[in-house]
Amino acid sequence: MFDTFAEWDIPVNDSVTIHGRSGGEGPPVVLLHGHPRTHTTWYRVAPALAQAGFSVVCPDLRGYGRSAKPEPDRKHEVYCDRAMAADIVALLRNLGHSRFAVVGHDRGSYVAYRTALDHPDAVSRLGVLDSVPILEALERAGAKFATAWWHWFFFGSSPHAERVITADPLAWYRPDEQAMGHENYRDMTSAVTNPATVRAMLEDYRAGLTVDRAHDEADRAAGRVITCPTLVAWSAKDDMEDLYGDPVAVWRSWVSGELTSARIESGHHMAEENPVQLAETLVRFLG
């Protein structure tokens, strides 16, 4: 796994060190995982991008995997997307990249588009996979959404979530070793069986329902949009189309740059379930 990639732990500020891997040469692209995965979810996509001529960076987001898990705060700002986006910019600068493409899946897509909104001079291209802006999701959160995505509200507001999950994390997340691949499975299960990781991941969701939503509202009110070329891609066997119809239509008011789309023939974890189509899609988009 990640045969030719370097593995590292890089401080991005006084309290946060980011763990991850990087490899390849060429235009830089950072790949951001979702919940409850770690950077190893990209273990088949990242080498394909490196082979296609890109410098590929795969970090564990703050709080996830083997990255730092700072103490949460009452306002949930420590684990908000804005803080995580600042981590990514600092990480890439440390690796020698002042401008880069960023691709995020699931929760990682929120960090990716926040990076593009907060640091437009740093982001050359944006890819968002299996998501719509968090504000758009919450404004559309009717009974259908709440039934299918109840975990958002359990994670984000229940005082019992941490106790319930840490009682038996593998029963809660039910990871499939055969589908994930052994080393990817081992990295993810090592993370979620750490109570500090569970607490941090819950803080990510708590920030999503509060401060992240507020940041999106402020951007929309101020007319701030994503100016770089943007790829919106989603899993054909997930529920994105069922919930939103055309996901691109939801993103359209958030992007002033070129907007392209792709439908990946997979379930939710597209990097593991259909890495070939996803890698081909990203290579075409990244150019």
Q: Which residues are catalytic?
A: 106, 268
Angle at 63 between CA 171 and CA 12, to 5 degrees: 160
Q: For residue 274, what are the CA distances in angstroms to 58, 79, 202, 212, 241? A: 18, 30, 28, 30, 18
CA distance 24 to 124: 18
- N-to-C CA span, the chain: 25
Query: Contact 286/125 with Cβ under 8 angstroms?
Result: yes
SS3 per-residue string spanning 191-207: HHCCHHHHHHHHHHHHH
159 preceded by a cis bond (ω within 30 of 0): no
CA-based diameter of the chain, in Å? Answer: 47
- In one-letter notation, the amino acid at residue 157 is S
Strand bridging mode 17-23 / 55-59: antiparallel
| Residue 234 dihedral angles phi and psi, to the nearest 5° | -145, 160
